[in-house]
Structure 1
Amino acid sequence: MRFLVIPALLTACAVSGLAQTADRVYTADQTSNTVSVIDPATNKFLGSIHLGDDVPAALSPLYHGELLVHGLGFSPDHKTLAVVSIGSNSVTFIDTETNTVKGKVYVGRSPHEAFFRPNGKELWLVVRGENYVSVIDPVKMKEVRRIETANGPGMVLFRPDGKYAFVPSSFTPEMDVIDTKTYKIVARVPQASPFSPNLAVDQDEVWFTLKDSGKTQVVSAKPPFQTLATLETGPITNHVTFITNEAGRFAYVTVGGKDEVLAYRRVTGSAPQLVATIKTGDLPHGIWGSGDGSKVYVGLENGDSVQAIDTMTNRIVATIPVGQLPQALVYVPGAVSSDAGNANLKPLGISSDALHLELVPPTSGDSQAHASVSINSLGPIDNVQIAATGLTPGKKYDLILTGGSEPQKLATFKANIGGVAIAQTMGPIKHAVTPSQTASAMTLEVLSDDENGGQLVLKQM
């Protein structure tokens, strides 16, 4: 988990029988601007909390809803959900019992993730488009302090005793350690590469993912916060969560570029040991463990769904549809206390209207390139997201729609240092790539963006 819930609370929930019926899983759905709600007792989708409209309505100068719903955190009493929207620069506070909005706070450019201090008195929100953590009073619903960090803070989580906060960066190869009593940075830990979007923290260790280089770095949670290990986890390493069950202590890491979740055994004083590689659906992203450690829930960004993994067998036991392009995911024990926990939820609507494609190399050579494509309906147009791996670092590529009178360029993107690229575009694409009785389907291709003509790198299966 990103932060360990108090064990006494988990035990109390399990003894009372509420650990199943009162728990909820939430996903932040970036394109549909929704929060999806799942009952983990039945692994069923209950409905969604709509925080904004679809494009093109969301692009209106008069639009006042949330845009690019992305990050999630929750309060220590598990009754308030904090939802971060990147495009509207906001955090929305939701009552988990009624699924209604309690308040909203606007901050600086492109906030990313937020979490409550263990005492519940403050919400810390990283403003990734700038260089600070916004400290918010959740009662007064206003920012009360800013803590300057390295440029591009990606996430913040606290050691369970609340003494330190850990803030990796998405733009700078540095993780900052903040003393929560003084609000001062007391250590700057070098990151193996600049782009960290996510971390997990307990009293002993901090694990943070490095999306650009495909690594996961393990650092001591105690001074002097030395690096203990750097793991080669794979392209588009996304999120990480901690699990403790009768088999031991584990870390689960989502690897989007391989459609895998990696499970590592954690033993104090020893290097992490890879014990399982779990194949998932398209582009696993957010991940969080159940309160009792028996399950891990994984959001599939290009699959518009969540998969549940049994941690004793490391097998997928359920696949649950959610909103479009789920990003962060949290498991909240004891989020509701009655059937009222299903109130005010809405169906997915057009959010469930999606097409998922795979692009592969044109020949059976030694190319390691691969891409998944998610085409989500936004009403009159579609959102297209491509996640490609195995590309040449630093090289530019074009996403092309072929099969018509002439090829149409949909997007140009550049591979990062790990040979990975994620890009989006919009248009009436789903109809074009779906065959009909009157017309054959067009297809998607990826070409290298060369001055003397592009070379075909990937084609639609």
Structure 2
Amino acid sequence: MRSKLFTLTLLIGTAAAGLGSAFAGQVPGPASAPDIPVSHRDRVYAAEQFSNTVSVTDPADNKLLGVIRLGDPQPGNLAPLYRGQVLVHGMGFSPDHKTLAVVSIGTNSVTFIDTATNAIKHVTYLGRAPHEAFFTLDGKEVWVTVRGEDYIAVLDGHTFAEKTRIKVPGGPGMQIFSPDNKYGYVCSSFNPETVVISVADHKIVGHVKQESPFCPDLAATPDGKQVWFTLKDVGRTQVFDAKPPFKLIKTLDTGPITNHVNIVRNANGMFAYVTVGGLNQIKVFRTDTFEQVATIPVGKLPHGLWPAGDGTRVYVGLENADALAAIDTLTNTVIATIPIGQAPQALTYVPNAVPEGDGMQNLQPLGVAGQAAQLTLASVSAAASAEAKPTSVTLFDQGLTQVLQAAVTGLEPKQPYVLALASQPDGGGALQPLAAFMTNPAGSAIVNAVGPIRQLAESGQDVPSRYLVVASGTAAKIGKLVQVQTK
């Protein structure tokens, strides 16, 4: 009897192990790849746009180890002989986990970094405003979306030199590959069309209509069945079949400033995690039924995200909080918030990035890259929805000046507005325009300005304090006040 019980227990254990292995394999690899448990050898990297740094975090204890400084903040990067990078933004990594590829939009470059030593191995300069870079899954090529033009720059995966170009619809935003490395999927930020490209011969073999022109990000499921892409201007996420004829499967309303998407496989199944910047949330959907199963409050303006090597966590950069949030994917709760550099954009989790040693070489302290102030604007209308999220504003310290970034939400779609300074707390008096902008179809916008704004907003100066507001109209003809600073 004891022998039979042991046999039954063994069979149950084997079945459970088989069930667990069905969920193995995380992006960008195939489902057949083994999971890699979280350890001190892993690293989380974030590309930080205003401090021009790459932060390096140990996920085993959620500790920032330091930053790789690729460039200087303003005004140092305005000098005519400046040699560093500007607007550090996109990020990818090699299939052997030894090389990080970091895109800097302002200097048209891809910086290749050794993950074990944090040393810069090479810098490749490309066409206007590249956005994202990723290695093919065999490591032979690096594809870079040159968003300011109309092509994919294909670099040699070993020398990092540009070897050819693939012409695509103008404004390619992001590329990712099928887990069998057969297809490259490239969405557009300027045209309502995603194209599918054969990796073997660089030929376009499929077209998918985007509901809007502005796609910043996409992800392919490890089982090779689906591709998810986000539409930032209309606040939606779409899903299409990863195989011919690449038909559209589903469109989801996800919310204002929908930004990045990534795929997680764990013991509960396979899920798509979508960052929704205008709501300061991540929304989680099943990939089989498309049911939304969780809403996770994470902090101001979530942007890039990536799962751990075993799918037990997702890390997300908080663009207007200068922070990294760690999420337990089995409970969908935030388990840690880590301070990092200014305005994190793309993010990657690289398992076994440091196979030996402490991986602290060539890292610098966070320093000025961690200095920022937070403000909030709310609607002046008594009829404003109780569910409406306030506009979040961050002042990223650059020495004597700050870069202001506002994640404006809750306005009328496709209308002109002005971000301005007022002399009175209620927005009264003459307004001094800082930036004019047009809202997207979801009634939101990301608005930037540069100046000594924090000093103007502080009391005790030689000039009266100023207060941030949003008004309708243009800088030449300012209209009705719609949002005022609350804190």
**TM-score, normalisation: structure 2:** 0.90
Aligned partner of residue 395 in structure 2, secondary structure:
strand
Change (3 A) 1:437 1:57: closer
2:435 corresponds to 1:411: yes
Matched, 1:126 2:145: yes
**Alignment match, 2:456:** 432
Residues 204-243 of structure 1: per-residue CA shift (max 9 Å, x gap): 1000000001000000101000011000000000001100
Q: Does 1:349 align with 2:367?
A: yes
Match of 1:62 in 2: 81
* RMSD (CA atoms): 1.7
Q: Give the equivalent residue in structure 2 for 1:303.
A: 321
SS at match of 1:459: strand
Instruction: Name the SS for the 1:20 alignment partner.
Output: coil
Q: Secondary structure at the match of 1:157?
A: strand
User: For residue 45 of structure 2, what is the aligned residue in structure 1?
Assistant: 26
Aligned partner of 2:286 among 229, 254, 265 = 265
State the secondary structure of the residue aligned to 2:61: coil
What amino acid does structure 2 have at the position aligned with 1:311?
A: T
Of 186, 201, 208, the match for 2:229? 208
Question: 1:138 Cα shift?
Answer: 3.0
- 2:162 alignment partner AA: E
Fraction of identical pairs, as percent: 51
Alpha carbons 2:26, 2:264 under 8 Å: kept: no
Instruction: Find the aligned partners of 1:231 and 1:224 in 2 and give their Cα distance.
Output: 21
State the alpha-carbon separation in 2 of the partners of residues 436 and 2 from structure 1.
53
- Residue of 232, 235, 259 corresponding to 2:253: 232
Partner of 1:110 in structure 2?
129
Q: Which runs of 5+ in 2 are unaligned?
A: 1-24
Contact 1:369-1:391 at 8 Å conserved across structures: no
Partner of 2:11: none
Residue number in structure 1 paired with 2:154: 135
Instruction: State the Cα distance separating 1:409 from its structure 2 match.
Output: 1.2
Report which stretch shifted further, 390-399 or 64-73: 390-399
Map residues 358-377 of structure 1 onto 2, 5 A cutoff. 358-366=376-384, 368=388, 370-377=390-397
What's the counterpart of residue 276 of structure 1? 294
Distance change in 2, residues 1:250/1:448 (3 Å): same
Match of 1:286 in 2: 304
Q: Determine if contact 2:29/2:137 at 8 Å carries over to the other structure.
A: no
Q: Give the whole-Å Cα distance in 2 for the aligned partners of 1:259 and 1:57.
A: 32
1:192 corresponds to which of 194, 203, 211: 211
Shift of the 66–453 alpha-carbon distance from structure 1 to 2, 3 Å rule, reads: closer
TM-fit CA distance, 1:342 = 1.6
Tell me, in whole angstroms, the C-alpha distance in 2 between the residues paired with 1:94 and 1:369: 38
Aligned match of 2:5 = none
Q: CA deviation at 1:139?
A: 2.0
Aligned: 1:420 with 2:444:
yes
Mapped to 2, the partners of 1:2 and 1:409 lie a distance apart of: 47
Report which of the two structures shows the higher radius of gyration computed on alpha carbons.
Answer: 2
1:454 to 466, 472, 479: 479
Structure 1 position 370, deviation (Å)? 3.4
Contact 1:3/1:157 (CA < 8 Å) preserved in 2? no
Q: What is the alpha-carbon distance in structure 2 between the residues aligned to residue 143 and residue 364 of structure 1? A: 56
User: Paired residue for 2:399?
Assistant: 379
CA distance 1:379–1:452, change in 2 (3 Å): closer
> What is the CA–CA distance in structure 2 between the aligned matches of 1:382 and 1:388, rounded to whole Å?
18
Structure-1-length-normalised TM-score = 0.95
Deviation at 1:359, TM superposition (A): 0.5
Tell me the CA shift for residue 369 of structure 1.
Answer: 7.2
Question: How many Å separate the matches in 2 of 1:421 and 1:407?
Answer: 20
Residue type of the partner of 1:400?
A: A
Q: Which amino acid aligns with 1:374?
A: T
Find the aligned partners of 2:207 and 2:158 in 1 and give their Cα distance: 31
* 1:334-372 superposed Cα distances (whole Å, 9 cap, x missing partner): 111123412111111111110011110123223657311
Give SS of 1:21's match: coil
The one-letter code of the counterpart of 1:83 is V
Moved more, 438-447 or 300-309: 438-447
The alignment partner of 2:77 has SS state of helix
Aligned residues: 453
Residues 437 and 145 of structure 1: is their aligned pair in 2 closer, same or farther, counting only changes over 3 Å? closer
CA–CA distance in 2 between the matches of 1:276 and 1:23? Answer: 27
Q: CA deviation at 1:416?
A: 1.4
Q: Deviations over 1:422-450 (max 9, x none)?
A: 11111111122233488763210001115
Aligned counterparts of 2:34 and 2:56: Cα–Cα separation in 1: 20
Q: Name structure 1 gaps, 5 residues minimum.
A: none
Match of 2:409 in 1: 389
Q: Distance in 2 between matches of 1:97 and 1:340?
A: 9
Task: Tell me if structure 2 keeps the 8 A contact 1:2–1:288.
Answer: no
Residues 111-166 of structure 1 deviation map (CA, whole Å, 9 limit, x = unaligned): 00010000001100000000100000132221001000011000010001000000
- The 5 A counterparts of 1:21-100 are 21-100=40-119
Question: Is the Cα–Cα contact under 8 Å of residues 2 and 200 in structure 1 kept in the other structure?
Answer: no
Tell me, yes or no, if the aligned pair for 2:27 and 2:264 is still in contact at 8 Å: no
Partner of 1:399: 419
